[in-house]
Amino acid sequence: PTVIETREISKKYVMGSEVVHALKSITIQINRGEYVAFMGPSGSGKSTLMNIVGALDTPTSGQYILNGKDVSNMTENELAEIRNKEIGFVFQTFNLLPRSTSLENVALPLIYAGYNKADRTERAMQALTSVGLGDRAHHKPNELSGGQRQRVAIARALVNDPSIILADEPTGNLDTKTSYDIMDLFEKLYSQGNTIIMVTHEEDIAEYAHRVVRLRDGLIETDRLNEHIRSVQ
Ligand code: ADP
Ligand code: ADP
Tell me whether 0.95 is exceeded by the ipTM.
no
Question: What is the C-alpha to C-alpha distance for residues 191 and 169, in angstroms, rounded to an integer?
Answer: 21
Encode pLDDT of 184-204 as tens digits.
Answer: 999 999 999 999 999 999 999
Measured by CA distance, the residue closest to atom 17 of ligand 1 is 22
- For each of the chain's 233 residues, which pLDDT tens digit applies? 999 999 999 999 999 999 999 999 999 999 999 999 999 999 999 999 999 999 999 999 999 999 999 999 899 999 999 999 999 999 999 999 999 999 999 999 999 888 999 999 999 999 999 999 999 999 999 999 999 999 999 999 999 999 999 999 999 999 999 999 999 999 999 999 999 999 999 999 999 999 999 999 999 999 999 976 654 43
Ligand 1 pocket (Cβ < 6 Å) reads 13, 15, 20, 22, 40, 42-48
Q: Tell how far CA 27 is from the center of its chain.
A: 19
Helix (H) or strand (E) holding 222: strand 219-225
213: closest CA among 71, 19, 54, 29? 29
Is the minimum distance from the CB of 226 to ligand 2 under 6 angstroms? no
Backbone angles phi, psi at 27, to 5 degrees: -120, 120
Measured by CA distance, the residue closest to atom 20 of ligand 1 is 48
Measured by CA distance, the residue closest to atom 12 of ligand 1 is 22
Question: What is the C-alpha to C-alpha distance for residues 8 and 26, in angstroms, rounded to an integer?
Answer: 5
Question: Which three-class secondary structure string do you get for 162-210?
Answer: CCEEEEECCCCCCCHHHHHHHHHHHHHHHHCCCCEEEECCCHHHHCCCC
Residue 73 is predicted with a pLDDT of: 87
Is the minimum distance from the CB of 63 to ligand 2 under 6 angstroms? no
Closest ligand 1 atom to residue 215 Cα is: 3
128: CA distance to ligand 2 center in Å? 31
Encode pLDDT of 100-143 as tens digits.
Answer: 999 999 999 999 888 999 999 999 999 999 999 999 999 999 99
